[in-house]
Amino acid sequence: MVCCRCKQLSLAIAGLAMSFAVLLQGFEDATPRRLEPEFAPGQQPSNDDRKPRFERVGGDIETFWQPPHEGTLVQGILFMAHGCNHQATDFFADTGPDGWKLEACHGSRFGRCLGLPEERQLVQEARARGYYVAAVSGTGSSRCWSHKADPSRVRQALQHIRMQEKLSEDVPILATGASSGGAFMSSLALALERPPKCVVPQISALASSYGSLETFAAMHVPTLFVHMSEHDPRTAMNVDKQVKELESKGVLAKQLHVAPVPLGEELVPHFGKKQASIVEAALQQAGLVQADGRLKQDPRASAWRQAPGLRAFMAATNDTLVADESSLSELLNVVWARHEFTAKFASQMLDFCEGKPLV
């Protein structure tokens, strides 16, 4: 009888212990947990979905991003800042090469993704080298960047991307931007939790009001200016001045010059030989091309859109020729080499940021 009671008592105690363990487990599961980073620079993302993502971070920060190419080791995040009259949707396409549609494009402020050729080239080269690419739409007037409001918004967007993708807290941030986006680089650097690995302002000097350049210089962020000096001497002068000032304070500062090129050199890689030949023939017939294949004048001031031969190109590519929206319009600005976003030095930009010598 005593042994039977002991056995019953033991079973009762075991049951109570099990119930208590389950109760504790319930409390544990109800406690918020901090997600530990799944990978750091030099590791591969665990997520096989490489499609672009879109979110309105914090309710109104229009944010697009995309993981690196499959099989690449994560090197960091490349943030890309558009210029005035542009937006984050410049860097992403409505439809991918596999036919997959980025439905979020239609819900963006602009209403569609432009997928402009120079921006897309930079996106692809960065992703091929292991970088997440990210873009945010600025909130300044004329869709420029607000140096007061936007630095903290971009910081919040980058934090969101890092957490969503489970990146380590010390994942390197690289940043580039054109025109207003180029000037924004110093304001952004000052707002980030840690200094960016590098900044690459395009077709612009850094914002330098209220002593911000001196504060930026104190961070010793490697800075590479990419600009179009032949047709924009004013920007070239300002860049030269800032390079010298940054170097005098011990900052690694370099510059690359984008020169005018023949039409085919810029158009063929993006449109293919057939469509590039149609455009070149149309502009030659309109008297807008020199014997060496370069443009005779700034396309922003010429009547190239009226060339009759461009109709076949428009029909084949659905290009509207509208300024700040058209792929051809952007590429002609790069051909002329004046005040345009460019990926011409994409590999050199990434090399510089990775501490490699410029070639």
Identify the segments of the chain with pLDDT beneath 70.
1-48, 210
Kindly state the DSSP code that residue 50 receives in the 8-state scheme: -
Identify the pLDDT of residue 58. Answer: 96
* Pick among 3.10.20.740, 3.90.550.10, 3.40.50.1820, 3.20.20.70: CATH of 53-259+340-353: 3.40.50.1820
Residues 6+ apart with CB under 8 A from 56: 62, 63
What is the rounded average pLDDT for all residues in the chain?
89
* Angstrom distance (rounded) from CA 116 to CA 93: 8
Count Cβ atoms below 10 Å from residue 290 Cβ, excluding itself.
Answer: 13
- SS3 state of residue 319: coil
Identify the pLDDT of residue 212. Answer: 85
Can you give the pTM of this predicted structure? 0.86
Nearest to 52 by CA among 106, 86, 95: 95
Identify the pLDDT of residue 208. Answer: 86
pLDDT one-digit tens code per residue, 267-305: 999 999 999 999 999 999 999 999 999 999 999 999 999
Q: Are 336 and 289 in contact (CB under 8 A)?
A: no
Identify the pLDDT of residue 49. Answer: 83
Q: Are 335 and 121 in contact (CB under 8 A)?
A: no
- Beta pairing class for 131-136 and 61-66: antiparallel
Residues 6+ apart with CB under 8 A from 192: 155, 158, 173
Name the residue ranges covered by the structural domains of the chain: 53-259+340-353, 263-336
Identify the pLDDT of residue 27. Answer: 33
- Beta pairing class for 253-257 and 223-227: parallel
